[in-house]
């Protein structure tokens, strides 16, 4: 547990090398999964659980992802991470983008994995609160049969404690993203400030956030590339862990320390 | 015990097989099935029935509000209150009620309620509700703020009614720099406040602390008694006595000359229990809207959903009362004995129950039932 501004957050920490801050999506912190294990061979991974999620403390005063972004800029200082790379998935990606617009010098390279945060120019962001968790899970991935860790992650019924944790996750996600739903209308105006090298990763078959949003991020960020994974939904790190880890390692390994 | 007349103003003017094609009649049943001409006629009809209920001697006329559903097209409870305030004479006008958490301007609500109270000659009973999840979706209001907004909206309305303006309000969810409503209720210090309950212990305790009239809706007697216990806990915390006047109960009820006719008419209530409550759980209870205690209590309060019960089970469970005036008096007396309530709210029209049947039921309630029940 790491206390930031009086809020204790749980964090998975491990590996060796330069620090990499990993910010999870609305589904919660899935821990030391296959892709993370691979990435931690070359980077020291810090994977905190957002305030209000799972085992971390409440932060019911928070109202939006910008609050979470300020919180993690503070986290970087408190945990003495220096100038870490930041990788965020879905709402974690939105958080990483907000952090970068607020303080681009506080972070090094950025990986945005199917981030929400921008209003789609075409299509809509799936209303995750309108569906049951079970329905949602099937919509999140392209094909559950091809997900290597499916059985491990989703194959058994949840314990009462896990149901409680999942409920907390959904409540905090609702607190942070309800209106406007899953985007910040002002974010696009600040993206040009972010000259950090940025990798955007998307699944071609993402049914939660239109892949066109990846193109919007790419256009907005001056130094970004977009990689679209075929036969992949909204959870690239889980659906294609090996390919995803390779992409991340290739990108972060490039020598561009400014 | 006082009786109140209530209609949800349903709009059951479409083929049922069309409604069955959708996951719910709420939110996603397309409004191309809304029949404008029939709706115009129905409003006239429903208002006539309310006016007749006033003449028949009901103590109050209850009105409610829902959105995006054919089960209730009374989409503006304050508008209805203003109309009835002008066209009725005796009965209280019970708004049960305004959905506070989805309201963005409590000052406007305080003004509108004050105006309805003035027009009606001080007959408004002002109910405040948290609403069902459907209204949260309709208004795109964050469900995790539901209770906070309910309480803050309530506090600001009360302040509008009881403290001289101008004043400033800087709260968690509401912010107004210049509050000075030039419309205040006729009743002093303000109209009585009523609160409904279905499953939330917190709401019962909260209402008890304030001495508001508390009315469980369509729950089994033992659950109503438990909710009244929570209410009494709240009242005891502040040393407040609880009388029958603090407690009410809501059921569906219809009467007719013969049992057979009443049983036939009562079948219309099944639509309200079944098809109109059919929906994914997330639509009625979006994430964060209920506390853990509320969720636990709801599971106990409704071991079986109303929508899964047959008409006979709904009759046996006292959710629906349908009979001759004598039978209805007997059932109402039982409610009074079991729960000790001073107010019995009758959802008295539903679905496709026709105008003559509804009017005859109101008439028989007035001539036979109300005189007998008033003595209880």
> Is the pLDDT assigned to residue B337 strictly greater than 80?
yes
- CB contacts, 8 Å: A62 with chain B: none
Structure tokens at A51: 């305030």
Average pLDDT for chain B:
96
User: Which of A130, A171, A179 lies at the smallest CB-CB distance from B288?
Assistant: A171
Structure tokens at B73: 């097209």
Q: Is B241 on the interface with A (CB under 8 A)?
A: no
Long-range contacts of B333-340 (CB under 8 A, 24+ apart): B333/B373, B333/B376, B335/B221, B335/B249, B335/B251, B336/B1, B336/B373, B336/B376, B338/B221, B338/B225, B339/B221, B339/B224, B339/B225, B339/B228, B339/B247, B339/B249, B340/B244, B340/B247
A129: closest CA of chain B, how far (Å): 7
| Spatial contact of B175 and B265, defined as CB atoms under 8 Å apart | no
User: Which of B137, B142, B280 lies at the smallest CB-CB distance from A132?
Assistant: B280
A144: region left, alpha or beta (phi > 0 left; psi from -120 to 50 alpha): alpha
| Spatial contact of B207 and B150, defined as CB atoms under 8 Å apart | no
- CB contacts, 8 Å: A181 with chain B: 140
B169: region left, alpha or beta (phi > 0 left; psi from -120 to 50 alpha): beta
Average pLDDT over residues B226-248: 98
Confidence tier at B299 by pLDDT (50, 70, 90): confident
Please tell me the pTM assigned to this model: 0.96
Burial of B271 (0-12, 13-18, 19+ CB in 10 A): buried
Answer yes or no: do A174 and B137 touch at CB < 8 A.
no
> Is the pLDDT assigned to residue B297 strictly greater than 90?
no
> Which distant-in-sequence residues (6+ apart) come within 8 Å of A109 by Cβ?
A85, A86, A196, A197, A198, A199, A251, A252, A256
Binding-site residues on chain A for chain B (CB distance < 8 A): 129-132, 167, 170-171, 174-175, 178-179, 181
Alpha-carbon distance of B130 to B253, in angstroms, equals: 25
Answer yes or no: do A130 and B283 touch at CB < 8 A.
yes
> Is the pLDDT assigned to residue B289 strictly greater than 80?
yes
The per-residue pLDDT for range B39-87, each reduced to its tens digit, is 999 999 999 999 999 999 999 999 999 999 999 999 999 999 999 999 9
pLDDT for B298:
81
Alpha-carbon distance of A34 to B338, in angstroms, equals: 61
Phi, psi of B297 (to 5 degrees): -65, -40
- CB contacts, 8 Å: A128 with chain B: none
Q: Is B175 on the interface with A (CB under 8 A)?
A: no
Answer yes or no: do B286 and A131 touch at CB < 8 A.
no
> Is the pLDDT assigned to residue B359 strictly greater than 60?
yes
For residue A46, the surrounding DSSP H or E stretch is strand A43-48
The per-residue pLDDT for range A96-106, each reduced to its tens digit, is 999 999 999 99
Average pLDDT for chain A:
96
Closest-CA residue of chain A to B281: A132
Fold classification of B2-374 (topology level): TIM Barrel (3.20.20)
Burial of B39 (0-12, 13-18, 19+ CB in 10 A): middle
Chains A–B, number of C-beta pairs less than 8 Å apart: 34
> Is the pLDDT assigned to residue B292 strictly greater than 70?
yes
**Regarding beta strands A110-113 and A43-48, do their DSSP bridges make them parallel or antiparallel, or are they unpaired?**
unpaired
- CB contacts, 8 Å: B281 with chain A: 132
Alpha-carbon distance of A87 to A111, in angstroms, equals: 4
Answer yes or no: do B144 and A129 touch at CB < 8 A.
no
Phi, psi of B321 (to 5 degrees): -115, 125
Structure tokens at B28: 């996603």
Average pLDDT over residues B159-172: 98
Answer yes or no: do A131 and B280 touch at CB < 8 A.
yes
Phi, psi of A32 (to 5 degrees): -85, 75
Burial of B158 (0-12, 13-18, 19+ CB in 10 A): middle
What is the interface pTM, i.e. ipTM, of the complex?
Answer: 0.94
* Residue B167, number of CB atoms within 10 A of its CB: 13
Give how far Cα A206 sits from Cα of A128, A141, A146, Å: 13, 7, 15
**Lowest mean pLDDT across B6-20, B75-89, B137-151, B192-206:** B192-206
Alpha-carbon distance of A201 to A225, in angstroms, equals: 9
Closest-CA residue of chain B to A178: B142
* Residue B102, number of CB atoms within 10 A of its CB: 21
Alpha-carbon distance of A93 to A71, in angstroms, equals: 14
Average pLDDT over residues B30-45: 98
All structural domains of chain B with their residue ranges: 2-374
Which residue ranges form the domains of chain A, and what is each CATH number? 2-253 (3.40.50.1820)
Under DSSP, the state recorded for B85 is H
Structure tokens at B227: 């909710």
> Is the pLDDT assigned to residue B186 strictly greater than 50?
yes
Residue B191 three-state SS? coil
Peptide bond into B189 cis (omega under 30): yes
Radius of gyration of chain A (CA): 17
Alpha-carbon distance of B311 to B317, in angstroms, equals: 10
pLDDT for B369:
98
Alpha-carbon distance of A234 to B254, in angstroms, equals: 53
Burial of B173 (0-12, 13-18, 19+ CB in 10 A): middle
Alpha-carbon distance of B73 to B67, in angstroms, equals: 7
> Is the pLDDT assigned to residue B302 strictly greater than 80?
no
pLDDT for A255:
55
Q: Is B137 on the interface with A (CB under 8 A)?
A: yes
Kindly provide the residue ranges of all beta strands, DSSP E only, lying in B82-131, ordered along the sequence.
Answer: 92-99, 124-129
User: Which of A131, A167, A178 lies at the smallest CB-CB distance from B142?
Assistant: A178
Q: Along chain A (258 residues), what's the average pLDDT of each consecutive run of 10 residues?
A: 97 97 97 96 98 97 97 98 98 98 98 98 97 94 97 93 95 98 98 98 98 98 98 98 98 68
Q: Which of residues 255-314 of B touch A (CB under 8 A)?
A: 280-283, 286-288
How much of chain B, in percent, has pLDDT values that exceed 70?
Answer: 100
A173: closest CA of chain B, how far (Å): 10
pLDDT for B293:
81
pLDDT for A256:
47
């Amino acid at each position: 547990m790491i206390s930031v501004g009086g809020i204790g957050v749980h964090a998975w920490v491990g590996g060796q090398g330069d620090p990499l801050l990993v910010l999870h999506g609305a589904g919660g912190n899935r821990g030391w999964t296959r892709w993370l294990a691979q990435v931690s061979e070359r980077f020291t991974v810090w994977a905190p659980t957002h305030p209000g999620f799972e085992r971390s403390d409440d932060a019911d005063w928070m109202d939006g992802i910008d609050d979470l972004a300020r919180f993690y800029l503070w986290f970087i200082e408190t945990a003495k991470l220096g100038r870490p790379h930041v990788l965020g998935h879905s709402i974690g990606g939105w958080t990483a983008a907000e952090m970068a617009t607020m303080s681009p010098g506080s972070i090094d390279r950025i990986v945005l994995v199917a981030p929400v945060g921008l209003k789609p120019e075409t299509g809509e962001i799936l209303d995750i609160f309108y569906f049951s968790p079970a329905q949602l899970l099937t919509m999140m991935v392209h094909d559950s049969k091809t997900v290597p860790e499916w059985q491990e992650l989703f194959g058994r019924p949840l314990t009462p404690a896990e149901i409680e944790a999942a409920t907390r996750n959904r409540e905090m996600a609702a607190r942070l993203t309800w209106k406007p739903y899953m985007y910040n209308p002002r974010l696009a105006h600040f993206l040009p400030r972010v000259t950090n090298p940025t990798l955007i990763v998307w699944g071609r078959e993402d049914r939660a956030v239109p892949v066109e949003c990846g193109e919007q991020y790419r256009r907005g960020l001056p130094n970004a590339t977009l990689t679209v994974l075929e036969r992949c939904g909204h959870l690239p790190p889980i659906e294609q862990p090996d390919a995803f880890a390779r992409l991340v390692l290739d990108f972060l390994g490039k020598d561009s320390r400014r | 015990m006082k009786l109140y007349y209530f209609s949800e103003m349903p709009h059951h003017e479409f083929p049922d097989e069309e409604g069955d094609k959708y996951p719910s009649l709420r939110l996603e049943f397309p409004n191309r099935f809304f029949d404008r001409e029939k709706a115009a006629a129905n409003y006239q009809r429903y208002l006539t029935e309310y006016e007749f209920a006033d003449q028949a001697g009901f103590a109050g006329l209850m009105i409610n509000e829902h959105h995006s559903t054919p089960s209730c097209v009374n989409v503006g409870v304050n508008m209805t209150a203003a109309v009835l305030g002008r066209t009725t004479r005796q009965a209280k006008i019970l708004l049960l009620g305004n959905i506070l958490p989805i309201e963005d301007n409590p000052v406007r609500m305080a003004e509108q309620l004050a105006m309805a109270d003035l027009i009606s000659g001080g007959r408004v009973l002002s109910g405040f509700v948290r609403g069902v999840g459907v209204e949260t979706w309709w208004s795109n209001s964050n469900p995790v703020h539901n209770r906070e907004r309910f309480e803050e909206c309530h506090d600001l309305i009360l302040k509008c009614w009881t403290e001289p303006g101008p004043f400033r309000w800087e709260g968690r969810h509401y912010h107004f720099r210049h509050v000075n409503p030039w419309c205040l209720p006729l009743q002093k210090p303000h109209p009585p406040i009523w609160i409904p309950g279905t499953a939330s212990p917190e709401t019962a305790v909260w209402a008890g602390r304030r001495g508001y009239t508390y009315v469980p809706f369509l729950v089994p007697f033992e659950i109503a008694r438990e909710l009244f216990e929570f209410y009494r806990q709240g009242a005891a915390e502040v040393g407040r006595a609880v009388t029958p006047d603090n407690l009410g109960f809501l059921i569906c009820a219809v009467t007719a000359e013969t049992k057979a006719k009443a049983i036939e008419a009562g079948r219309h209530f099944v639509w309200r229990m079944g098809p109109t409550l059919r929906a994914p759980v997330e639509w009625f209870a979006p994430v964060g809207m209920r506390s853990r205690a509320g969720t636990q209590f709801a599971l106990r309060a409704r071991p079986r959903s109303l929508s899964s019960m047959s008409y006979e089970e709904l009759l046996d469970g006292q959710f629906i009362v349908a009979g001759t005036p004598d039978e209805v008096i007997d059932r109402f007396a039982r409610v009074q004995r079991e729960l000790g309530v001073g107010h019995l709210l009758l959802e008295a029209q539903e679905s496709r129950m026709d105008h003559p049947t509804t009017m005859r039921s109101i008439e028989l309630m007035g001539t036979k039932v109300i005189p007998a029940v008033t003595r209880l």
